[in-house]
């Protein structure tokens, strides 16, 4: 475990589910990876990308708001 790690309590039932999926020694790494992936998905959903902007512009064009 890294020196800057912070302990976060998990409900026992959730810990056992993670342990069954990842193995007892891998629980911290599994949880850290899951949290990183969830944060990345949330951050990507919160910030519109170039594709999203292009879709918005096209929709406004079809609605007659843009030439």
Domain ranges of the chain: 12-62
Q: Number of C-alpha atoms within 13 angstroms, CB side, residue 66?
A: 9
What's the rounded Cα separation, in Å, for the pair 28 and 36? 12
Give residue-wise pLDDT tens across range 12-61.
999 999 999 999 889 999 999 999 999 998 887 777 665 678 888 888 99
Full-prediction pTM beyond 0.75?
no
Residue 49 DSSP SS3: coil
Residues 18, 27: contact at Cβ < 8 Å?
yes
């Amino acid at each position: 475990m890294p020196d800057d790690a912070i302990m976060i309590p998990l409900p026992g039932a959730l810990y056992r589910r993670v342990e069954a999926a990842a193995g007892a020694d891998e629980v911290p790494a599994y949880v850290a990876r899951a949290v990183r992936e969830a944060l990345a998905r949330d951050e990507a959903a919160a910030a519109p990308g170039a594709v999203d902007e292009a879709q918005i512009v096209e929709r406004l064009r079809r609605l007659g708001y843009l030439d």
